[in-house]
Amino acid sequence: MKKSKETIQLKDAIAIGIGGMVGGGIFAVLGLAVSLAKGGTPLAFLFAGIIALFTAYGYSKLSLSFPDRGGTVRFVNEGFGKGIFSGGINNVLWVSYIIMLALYASAFGSYAPNLFSITGSKAIDTHIFVSGVIILASLINYYSLEVVGKIESIAVFVKLCILIAFAALGVYGLFGNANVSQLNPSNWESPFLLLTGGMVIFVAYEGFELIANAVPNLKNPKKNVPRAYFISVGFVVLLYIVIAMITVGSLSFDKIANAKDYVLAAASKPMIGQLGFTIMTIAALISTFSAINATIYGGSRVSYELAEDDELPHSFTSQLWNKPIGLFITAILTLLAANFLNLESISTSGSAGFLMIFAVVNFTAYKKAKEINASKIITLLGAILCALAFIVLIVQQSGSNILGVSISIGIIIICFIVEWIFKKGFLNSTKQDDN
């Protein structure tokens, strides 16, 4: 009986995937995507979605063969062993979670001042809201994980209802709107920039990998694991494309640029006026808060898993206030990243990190294709697409966002150097002491 209580249904797994993707990402990066791709923004979301679908295939096959709460960490270790390379990649995963948290917090801080003013200065208010939401989510995680789960369940339902209503009203509102002509191919950026736009906002799709952590408890996994991945990713790809079409077709490019950090709320205004703006702002606050609330503990669990696998010092398995020490460290690093990095740099770093990680996971699926009953062609294509997307992102952004590129490359290099020092130095000395 105890086992049945822990079993989750297909709908729960789909909710985990959709909730992980439709978190704060779309609210944070939509304006950024339009600034890069202009009228071709829906196509940019499609490009990113195709890569997500290829990667979902690899994840579904690996999840069935290696069901583990460690998810991505387990897959990387299965593909490359517990060495410096896998440790470095898994460290990048942990830092990428921190970058995602910073992205969500930045989005919260951009939307909140539109409803509440504390100091009268939007810049100062933004930093107050950014810091406040991270601290509040951390305190809730320390207080009760059950509360975290309840908040996430309610938030997923509310934000999906609002976004689906936005999509339905928006499609109807496009008829007769003068700005719909902005969707014409003449207003698209070059194919290279469209692809880059999709890669910068790839962070809006990354959450589907959370399904892997729930697979050990999923009912009828052979049937439901692929369904959970493809239904959730497919639904979100369609939703994002429709939202992008509505946004570009409802507001002029100038208005989108002016409201870049809270463009979804601005796009709601032409439909039902100030009420639409307020409702979408509230949806953004609920979504970004719930995303921080759910991700901050998930990020700390990654550091805990890495410490157990000898890829981080064992001190990361120790506890502070009855929770993994990684929770406190993750919260502090998120506070620093969210307050000192701009949105585009955060988005670029997060996308680069996850594209690199997904390339490795897809390649793991390719290496183990026979063992996991996967297509070598599909898994190899997934690995190549992620790797090419990573290169395209770095090359294009190096001309316009050198800070974001420097942070992205710096994070990767530091993660591997730290892992090398740990494995060659600290871990070896510990083993010698034991002998």
Q: Which pLDDT band holds residue 314 (cuts at 50, 70, 90)? A: low
Residues 422 and 88 sit within 8 Å (Cβ to Cβ): no
Q: Which pLDDT band holds residue 427 (cuts at 50, 70, 90)? A: low
User: Which of 99-108, 168-177, 398-407 shows the lowest per-residue confidence on average (mean pLDDT)?
Assistant: 168-177
Sign of the CA dihedral with 156 first, then 352, 36, and 116 last? positive
Give the pLDDT of residue 6. Answer: 57
Q: Kindly report, residue by residue over 120-171, the tens digit of the pLDDT.
A: 888 899 999 999 989 988 888 777 656 666 666 677 778 788 888 888 887 7
pLDDT greater than 70 at residue 3: no
Give the Cα separation of 248 and 255 in Å (integer).
Answer: 10
Q: Which pLDDT band holds residue 294 (cuts at 50, 70, 90)? A: confident
Give the pLDDT of residue 2. Answer: 37
Give the pLDDT of residue 75. Answer: 92
User: Which of 1-10, 106-115, 169-178, 211-220 shows the lowest per-residue confidence on average (mean pLDDT)?
Assistant: 1-10
CATH numbers and ranges of domains, the chain: 2-427 (1.20.1740.10)
Q: What is the 3-state secondary structure (H, E, C) of 189-225?
A: CCHHHHHHHHHHCHHHCHHHHHHHHHHHHECCHHHHH
The letter for the amino acid at 351 is: S
pLDDT greater than 80 at residue 194: yes
Length of the chain: 435
pLDDT greater than 90 at residue 226: yes
User: Which of 211-220, 230-239, 322-331, 408-417 shows the lowest per-residue confidence on average (mean pLDDT)?
Assistant: 322-331
Mean pLDDT of the region 393-412: 86
Q: Does residue 227 or residue 284 have the better pLDDT?
A: 227
Return the top range by mean pLDDT from 49-58, 166-175, 189-198, 199-208. Answer: 49-58
Give the pLDDT of residue 422. Answer: 81
Distance of CA 126 to the CA centre of its chain: 21
Give the Cα separation of 300 and 315 in Å (integer).
Answer: 13
pLDDT greater than 70 at residue 275: yes
Sign of the CA dihedral with 314 first, then 320, 322, and 327 last? negative
pLDDT greater than 90 at residue 82: no
Mean pLDDT of the region 292-311: 75
pLDDT greater than 90 at residue 60: yes
**Angle (CA) 131 95 122, round 5°:** 25
Q: Which pLDDT band holds residue 31 (cuts at 50, 70, 90)? A: confident
Tokens of 336: 């620093």
Residue 432 has, within 13 A of its CA and on its CB side, a CA count of 7
Q: What is the DSSP string of 20-76?
A: HHSSSHHHHHHHHHHHHHBTTHHHHHHHHHHHHHHHHHHHHHHHHHS--TTTHHHHH
Q: Which pLDDT band holds residue 1 (cuts at 50, 70, 90)? A: very low
Other Cβ atoms closer than 10 A to 314:
12
pLDDT greater than 80 at residue 343: no
Mean pLDDT of the region 77-83: 88
As a whole number, the mean pLDDT across the chain is 83
User: Which of 243-252, 324-333, 363-372 shows the lowest per-residue confidence on average (mean pLDDT)?
Assistant: 324-333
Q: Kindly report, residue by residue over 280-292, the tens digit of the pLDDT.
A: 888 888 888 877 8
Residues pairing with 84 in the sheet: none
Give the pLDDT of residue 45. Answer: 92
Return the top range by mean pLDDT from 25-34, 174-183, 217-226, 354-363. Answer: 354-363
pLDDT greater than 70 at residue 320: no
Mean pLDDT of the region 196-202: 81
pLDDT greater than 80 at residue 434: no
